[in-house]
Amino acid sequence: MPLVVPGVTADNMDDSKTQEWTNKLVGKKLSDEPSSETTFCKTELPPQTRVLPPGALATRDFRPDRLNVHVAEDGTVSHVTHG
């Protein structure tokens, strides 16, 4: 039987926030410059954000407010998750 913790399980996560960030970031490169059609300025990311390149080691602690930005080898955002 899986562990079920109210307010923490995947069923209770706010998918709309993840979808919102997916729409903003996927296919763009992160940059220190102002955002454009092909880039997104890092300063516009939420405070609880971590950028994860391929093969990066990351802690497995769950933080529902943390945005995980996964980037491909070329620096393009491939997908985002919360947790």
Q: Per the domain annotation, does 21 fall within a domain?
A: yes
- Structural domain boundaries enclosing 31: 10-82
Of 13-17, 41-45, 74-78, the one with minimum mean pLDDT is 13-17
Instruction: Decide if 52 is inside a domain.
Output: yes
Q: Note whether residue 64 is domain-resident.
A: yes
For residue range 1-35, list pLDDT tens digits in order. 455 445 554 444 568 999 999 999 999 999 999 99
Query: Rounded distance, CA 44 to CA 30, Å?
Result: 10
Q: Domain tally for the chain? A: 1
Residue 38 falls inside a structural domain: yes
CATH code of 38's domain: 3.30.10.10
CA distances from 70 to 2, 4, 29 (A): 27, 27, 11
Residue 15: per-residue pLDDT: 87
Q: What is the pLDDT of residue 14?
A: 66
Q: How many CA within 13 A on the CB side of residue 34?
A: 0
Structure tokens at 63: 């933080």
Assess if residue 2 is contained within a domain: no
